[in-house]
Structure 1
């Protein structure tokens, strides 16, 4: 199924990722109450009074695997009264996601026709039971078919796992394992203007051949950049990314974070 988002000039996307919610209101992960940090992010976005045409959520919605935690996410997102598309991360139960999100009318669409000029494609890189990602042949074929079918549109691709090395040795053991297959498609189809992901709990911005490539911060804890072993960041607040798509195929994007961050991770932790 395809979702159509009507826009005449430019359009704005809100990218949220790695919320790691719990059914228990007081559930904490690595010292942070992820339910409360998520609510703080949502509140700050709402206070900005910005209007979005689409919300893209790229996985790791919950930490405890519960349907109630998925409902927590959906209950907040529907308040935006904005279409939301989503994909699974390595922590997610896809069946629970489908069941709960369908109840809240969060569409299970992996193709979005955004205005007259843009195509958005969501890819499932989840490998059940593993932290790393992989795009099976079916997903790669799906992407190429969408690009060919909508060859007159500029394309923006989302997935959960990072296809570009993060610079953190421990994180890069859990990368997209067949990133070279995605890279070949990017090189072949110049209509792809950008690729976005979550998973690494960091902001990164790259130039990947002819397109932009970026990761978006988590709404809870952040991983410290450029570390060999697991380390949390005490400097980077929970955040989100805003993306503006222009008619000429260009896009502008910026990361925002909580201005007054009350959430401090437990820096003594060495994994999760």
Structure 2
């Protein structure tokens, strides 16, 4: 079993998680992606969360931290996230260099733990669905065994599972070529473990919420551009602002969550682009 992180919660009745994903940062402050300065949009999200003055017990970051592969961009993420003075756990997306992430994040005390015991009631598990050199995801047998073992060992806790890739079709034909390829194996584990109460992911740059078997399953918007929903071919959305998700884990095993977005959105993508 991989090392676990034990964290207290501020309120005995619930734990609070901030979910951030798909920041796509650059080393150069002025670089942009699909017409958006992703460094600036990420900073705007961080500042907006800070202005709201909410307190979290844990931050979960689900991949695609950088676009240029640079350690400076990973450091940019870590410097901003450390402003919250809250434990942050993370996993890799298809754009990430895992070795660089480990090296940089260790310097900023961002925990490499993939199991978190949150308060007295909750288990948080992070899975690595990255396939190096590919946009799609896959959970190797080692990750599936890791998940099942964690759920078995902590059967007395309700569980929230995170990964980067979407295990459920997004409704976008082009995006669903980049889905979790062995989602059926993942689904089998979910079905037979009733203590899994939630599943979260990034990757699709959209807000989606489902009831999937006995779980609240959801995707969280990117902190930069969003993909247009229900599209056959690649499209970015001119309507949806950068965002994040706040999750409440109640002592009775229920999950509440809400997506927030920048209200005064200055980050408008170049909708003429056909890929990135």
TM-score by length of 2: 0.98
- Runs of 4+ aligned structure 1 residues displaced above 6 Å come to none
User: Matches of residues 146-165 of structure 1 in structure 2 within 5 Å?
Assistant: 146-165=150-169
Task: Give the match's secondary structure for 1:135.
Answer: coil
Give the match for residue 8 of structure 2: 6
Deviations 1:99-141 (A, max 9, x none): 0000000010000000000000000000000000000000000
Taking the aligned partners of 2:195 and 2:139, their CA distance within structure 1 comes to 20
Q: How much does 1:147 deviate? A: 0.5
Q: How much does 1:9 deviate? A: 2.0
Give the match for residue 228 of structure 1: 232
Deviations 1:201-257 (A, max 9, x none): 000000101111000000000000000000000000000000000000001000000
Q: How much does 1:81 deviate? A: 0.3
Q: Any gaps of 5 or more consecutive residues in structure 1?
A: none
TM-score by length of 1: 1.00
Taking the aligned partners of 2:47 and 2:121, their CA distance within structure 1 comes to 31
Task: Give the match's secondary structure for 1:180.
Answer: helix
The reply on whether 1:243 has 2:241 as its aligned counterpart is no
Aligned counterpart for 1:45 among listed residues 49, 53, 61: 49
Q: Any gaps of 5 or more consecutive residues in structure 2?
A: none
Q: How many residues align?
A: 272
Aligned counterpart for 2:211 among listed residues 200, 207, 212: 207
Taking the aligned partners of 1:29 and 1:42, their CA distance within structure 2 comes to 19
Aligned counterpart for 1:59 among listed residues 46, 63, 85: 63
Deviations 1:18-75 (A, max 9, x none): 0000000001000000000000000000000100010000000000000000000000
Deviations 1:148-184 (A, max 9, x none): 1000000000000000000000000000000000100
